[in-house]
Structure 1
Amino acid sequence: MSLQNWIASFGVGVLLIGFFMNVFGYLDSKSKTYSILNAIGGLISCYASWMADFYPFVVLNIIWSATAIISLIKKGVPRETP
């Protein structure tokens, strides 16, 4: 298996770990851990897609990762209480 396939498999594996943990109730979809797994897995998958010159998945994974990163930023900002 090529290096590109190893990188892609690792990235997808990280995404799937978060997905399975959420589906089976071990991880809440609103948790920071879930967002971190999505951001990291998406960025790794994006890199592997870029290596393969498969740009539709580069775009998909950029959006996936950006959404997760924005979610992390929002979770880190304390909310004002009246």
Structure 2
Amino acid sequence: MNTIDWLGFIGVFQILLAYILNLIGKIKNTDLTFILLNLIGAAMACLASIFMEYIPFIILEGVWTFASLISLLKYKKKQ
């Protein structure tokens, strides 16, 4: 695996980790940990997709990153 593969792999792993932790009740979808795992993971996966020039996943991960950023801003506003 090359650097781009690792970037995408780690990003997707973070997104899946957030999802699994939420499913088993370890974190809530409103927790900062959940939001950051999604934000950073999606950004990394999006960047890897940009390097691979794979448009469908650029769109998917770009929107996921944007949605996570909105969640982070809402979280900060509540604090």
TM over 0.5: yes
Aligned match of 2:38: 38
Aligned match of 2:54: 54
Q: Which has the larger radius of gyration?
A: 1
Q: 4+ residue stretches of structure 1 with deviation over 2 A?
A: none
Structure with greater proportional helix content: 2
Deviation at 1:75, TM superposition (A): 1.4
Q: What is the distance in 2 between the residues matched to 1:32 and 1:38? A: 10
Amino acid across the alignment from 1:63:
V
Aligned match of 2:14: 14
Which runs of no fewer than 5 residues in structure 2 stay unpaired?
Answer: none
3-state SS of paired residue (2:25): coil
Deviation at 1:22, TM superposition (A): 0.4
- Structure-2 change in CA distance of 1:27 and 1:55 (3 Å): same
Q: Alignment length, in residue pairs?
A: 79
Aligned match of 1:66: 66
Amino acid across the alignment from 1:23:
L
Q: What is the distance in 2 between the residues matched to 1:6 and 1:22? A: 24
RMSD value, Cα: 1.3
Amino acid across the alignment from 2:51:
M
Deviation at 1:78, TM superposition (A): 3.6
